[in-house]
Amino acid sequence: GAVVSQHPSRVICKSGTSVKIECRSLDFQATTMFWYRQFPKQSLMLMATSNEGSKATYEQGVEKDKFLINHASLTLSTLTVTSAHPEDSSFYICSARVREGAASGNTIYFGEGSWLTVV
Amino acid sequence: AQSVSQHNHHVILSEAASLELGCNYSYGGTVNLFWYVQYPGQHLQLLLKYFSGDPLVKGIKGFEAEFIKSKFSFNLRKPSVQWSDTAEYFCAVNQYYGQNFVFGPGTRLSVLP
């Protein structure tokens, strides 16, 4: 099946620095990618929807200047956490939707997630 | 490694038919279990979750799921589906106090009007 790769799977950064998480669709083109965050003992929360070549659509309450999302190509979306703080420590997961018209239609594939720890 | 399997890749039903989607996981410890749904063109939404207590969990839109620990299963059910239930359904497992979600591959449900 199709593969979505997230990198890094785990990252530790110092408070005040920025960290970038990549989400790649390895063998298909994805016009739309979704970024989620998991809070402790809770389910996933959608942060933003990323469309190739256009600005991401952020959910209410998500700071767009803090969580920068770029979807520069049909196979890559990045999430940059700027000026990270300890409360940003969380599990971030992306998913990618196969480009419409392809044989798989609108199938969604998930990345393995990235665990961010800000110290 | 922990894994989640879903029995069917694509299920096609007529309206009013009953639905059961299978989900099995491999982890032997305490787990939290989830079912998510993704409607065409939309983001992932939580249908229901199980953390502890009554193994029969009721969620939104008439869905329910039953946790059977001995079978490592968490099957999703709905007695009568509607055309609007057409979507992709994902089972997910999170180890208790664990850090990562593990998602199943998904089951596409197509409900014919």
> Pairing relation of β-strands B107-112 and B10-14?
parallel
Mean per-residue pLDDT for B1-19? 91
Q: Do A1 and B103 touch (CB under 8 A)?
A: no
Closest CA to A44 of B59, B102, B83: B102
What 3-state class would DSSP assign to B61? Answer: helix
Torsion of CA A100, B107, B32, A84, to 10 degrees: -10
Are the beta carbons of A106 and B41 separated by less than 8 Å?
Answer: yes
pLDDT tens, residue by residue, B17-62: 999 999 999 987 888 888 989 887 666 778 988 888 899 999 999 9
| Stretch 6-65 of chain A: residues touching chain B, C-beta under 8 Å | 34, 36, 38, 41, 43-44, 46, 49
The answer, yes or no, to whether residue B105 has pLDDT greater than 70, is yes
Reference B109, options B37, B60, B26; nearest CA is B37
Alpha helices in B15-58 (DSSP H): none
Rounded to whole angstroms, the Cα distance separating B10 from B7 reads: 9
What is the structure's pLDDT at B46?
Answer: 80
Q: What pLDDT is recorded for position A94?
A: 92
